[in-house]
């Protein structure tokens, strides 16, 4: 299958899952300034990550990664979804995709919200929301190595991918929440991913 991605974007979480599962793939780094037809066939919205599988296009990173985890249960990327650990992993996975990621979009592209209005204020509010949102997901990491226990899950992959961007807010997340700094280096040092 073909994997459309952009290094240091949210597609890194899918890239990591592809490597861990051993799913064969061709990685294609997308030129966002010139989105070609094959990429737009994989995701008509022109966003990464996207896959062109033998059965057709697939997009939305969370869906792709859940699909990969079910195709490769031996990779242990998600606990049994009906178990208590599965509930935790799902909760934090959706928190990253549905709550944290959109706030980064507000931060990086404030004019998409503000239009002709006050983009600076939109960005300032997004920064404050980011700190509050990460303070919540840092809590489980005070008591366990990963967000849903001692095994790494898809939630950790996605959390680590979003932490690539904290340089834009002076690395305040790693500074304020050492557990996040630990998680970030733990995930990216994993020999299956690196
Ligand atoms: N909900 C989508 C979001 C995808 C997304 O926003 N990807 C960003 C990179 S992190 C992108 O491709 N942005 C390009 C753009 O918005 O034009 C997902 O989780 O896959």
Q: What is the pLDDT of residues 64-109, one digit of tens each?
A: 999 999 999 999 999 999 999 999 999 999 999 999 999 999 999 9
| Whole-angstrom distance, CA of residue 135 vs CA of residue 23 | 34
**Nearest protein CA to atom 20 of ligand 1, as residue:** 60
Kindly list the domain boundaries of the chain, sorted by start residue.
2-75, 84-188
- Cα of 10 to ligand 1 centre, how many Å? 7
pTM over 0.95, yes/no:
yes
For residue 9, give the nearest of 183, 180, 165 by alpha carbon: 165
Cβ neighbours, 10 Å, residue 191: 5
| pLDDT tens digits, one per residue of 42-60 | 999 999 999 999 999 999 9
Given ligand 1 and candidates 15, 45, 48, 113, which is best to mutate, with the most ligand atoms within 8 Å of its CB?
48
Rg, the chain, Cα only? 17
Distance CA 69, CA 21 (A): 8
2-75: CATH number: 3.40.30.10
**Which two three-digit tokens encode residue 40?**
């737009």
Instruction: Give the tens place of pLDDT for each residue, 136-157.
Output: 999 999 999 999 999 999 999 9
Closest C-alpha to ligand 1, atom 15: 47
- Of the CA atoms within 13 Å of residue 182, those in its CB half-sphere come to 15
**Would the pLDDT of 194 be above 90?**
no
Ligand 1 atom index nearest CA of 49: 20
Q: Is the per-residue pLDDT at 28 higher than 90? A: yes
Atom of ligand 1 nearest to the CA of 97: 19
Task: Indicate which atom in ligand 1 lies nearest the CA of residue 61.
Answer: 20
> Is 43 touching ligand 1 by the criterion CB < 6 Å?
no
Distance in Å, CA 84 to ligand 1 centroid: 30
Q: Give residues with Cβ within 8 angstroms of 30, minimum separation 6.
A: 4, 5, 6, 39, 48
Residue 3 falls in which region: left (phi positive, over 0), alpha (psi -120 to 50) or beta:
beta
Confidence (pLDDT) at 21? 98
Q: Ligand 1 centroid to 105 CA: how many Å?
A: 9
Phi, psi of 2 (to 5 degrees): -100, 135
- CATH no., domain 84-188: 1.20.1050.10
- The confidence band for 117, taking pLDDT boundaries of 50, 70 and 90, is very high
């Amino acid at each position: 299958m073909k994997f459309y991605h952009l290094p240091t974007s949210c597609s890194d979480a899918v890239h990591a899952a592809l490597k861990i599962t051993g799913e064969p793939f061709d990685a294609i780094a997308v030129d966002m300034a010139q989105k070609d037809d094959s990429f737009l066939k994989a995701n008509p919205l022109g966003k990464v990550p996207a896959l062109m599988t033998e059965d057709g296009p697939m997009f939305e990173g969370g869906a792709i990664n859940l699909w990969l985890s079910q195709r490769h249960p031996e990779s242990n990327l998600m606990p049994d979804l009906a178990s208590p650990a599965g509930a935790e992993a799902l909760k934090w996975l959706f928190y990253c995709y549905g709550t944290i990621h959109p706030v980064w979009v507000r931060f990086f592209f404030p004019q998409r919200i503000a239009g002709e209005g006050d983009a600076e204020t939109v960005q300032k509010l997004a920064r404050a929301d980011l700190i509050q949102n990460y303070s919540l997901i840092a809590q489980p990491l005070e008591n366990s190595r990963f967000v849903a226990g001692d095994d790494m899950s898809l939630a950790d992959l996605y959390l680590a991918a979003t932490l690539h961007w904290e340089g834009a807010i002076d690395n305040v997340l790693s500074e304020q929440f050492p557990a996040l700094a630990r998680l970030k280096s733990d995930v990216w040092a994993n020999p299956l991913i690196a």
